[in-house]
Amino acid sequence: MEINGIGVVGCGLMGSGIAEVCARAGYEVVVREVNDALLQKGLGRVQGSLAKAVARGKATQGQVDEALARVHGTLDLATFAKCDLVVEAAIENMSAKKEIFAALDDILPPHAILASNTSSLCVTEMASVTKRGDRILGIHFFNPVPIMPLIEFVRTILTSDETMEIAHQFGASLGKRMVTAKDTPGFIVNRLLIPYLLDAVGIYEDGLATREDIDTAVKLGLNHPMGPLTLLDFVGLDTTLFIADAMYEEFKDPRYAAPPLLRRMVLAGHLGRKSGKGFYDYG
Ligand code: CAA
């Protein structure tokens, strides 16, 4: 199967990044948002990131102009009727995702592959509302999508070998490295990352060290690009809490139980960079 048209559902942080890397790889991309304000904001993010790629010498102005011309915004899922592959990167809410999957199952051509960028929800449950379980998988990108080299594939017990093969060709065409995990919450990366981030909040809450010292310790002692509290602010405290709760719900393992401070910060609206305040201030 040849992939020509790509659909991306959602033009938030992840959806806009996915649309950008697909367009840079030469695909025609349709990206859908729920209203025009969110769509324009998302398309603006694609433009900003492409401009940064030029400024950093990663692309020429000509390449960026061509990529931008391949990105088409829409408010209507029906525009995806000719897509060969759709990546859903909408809100992390199972009923919203099931609604999108059921609608796309009716709209997409029979050969099309439908993927979710979910970081923690059950891909099999999304497949259950469609008649194309063999053509459904998770394609999990990492933030920031244009820079992070990894894609995590999530293979359900329904996903066919052919779908996995096409997904690998697609990932390779984006220049990404790929790993495959079973459909359990957190897959590989978040299964390891979430307990580590929760522990960092826990030791900060216990007063073991300052936020700066916790981050410096990990940056310089383990050579990570960001300390855990900076990374929490970067990923979003609400996103992290959501993933932790989904993992705790499934495994009932205390390693995935969110520390009280994390839940309270989310309740207080301290979500990290996106809200201007998390463990640090972004004024
Ligand atoms: N397009 C293409 N390339 C770009 C770019 C763009 N828009 N913006 C920057 N780059 C390039 C730069 O030119 C640079 O390339 P070289 O290394 O070749 O010079 C590289 O990307 C790094 O750019 P910066 O210098 O601007 O950034 P940095 O060095 O300060 O690193 C960072 C920023 C990549 C975010 C780094 O801090 C990092 O890796 N942090 C950790 C991020 C992380 O862990 N992400 C995963 C989160 S978990 C997740 O996403 C999954 C989930 O389910 C929660």
The residue from 182, 205, 236 where one domain ends is 182
Question: Domain of 88?
Answer: 5-182
Residue 218 belongs to some domain of the structure:
yes
Same domain, 15 and 110: yes
Domain of 232: which CATH number? Answer: 1.10.1040.10
Domain count, the chain: 2
Which two three-digit tokens encode residue 199?
Answer: 């522990």
147 CA from centroid of ligand 1 (Å): 5
Q: Cβ contacts of residue 276 below 8 Å, gap of 6+? A: 282, 283
Co-location of 150 and 62 in the same domain: yes
pTM of the model: 0.96
Which CATH number fits the domain that encloses residue 32?
3.40.50.720
- Note the pLDDT of residue 111: 97
Name the residue with the closest Cα to ligand 1, atom 53: 119
Q: Which pLDDT value is given to residue 99? A: 98
Confidence of residue 103 (pLDDT cuts 50, 70, 90): very high
- Residue 151 Cβ < 6 Å to ligand 1: no
* 278 in a structural domain: no
Domain end, chosen from 182, 217, 244, is at: 182
From residue 87, alpha-carbon distances to 3, 55, 111, 113, 281 in Å are: 13, 28, 15, 9, 33
* 149 CA distance to ligand 1 middle (Å): 9
What proportion of the chain, given as a percentage, has pLDDT over 90?
A: 98
Is the Cβ atom of 148 under 6 angstroms away from ligand 1? yes
Q: Is residue 12 part of a domain?
A: yes
What pLDDT digit, counting tens, does each position of 164-213 carry?
999 999 999 999 999 999 999 999 999 999 999 999 999 999 999 999 99
* Residue 281 belongs to some domain of the structure: no
**What digits encode the pLDDT tens for the residues 223-266?**
999 999 999 999 999 999 999 999 999 999 999 999 999 999 99
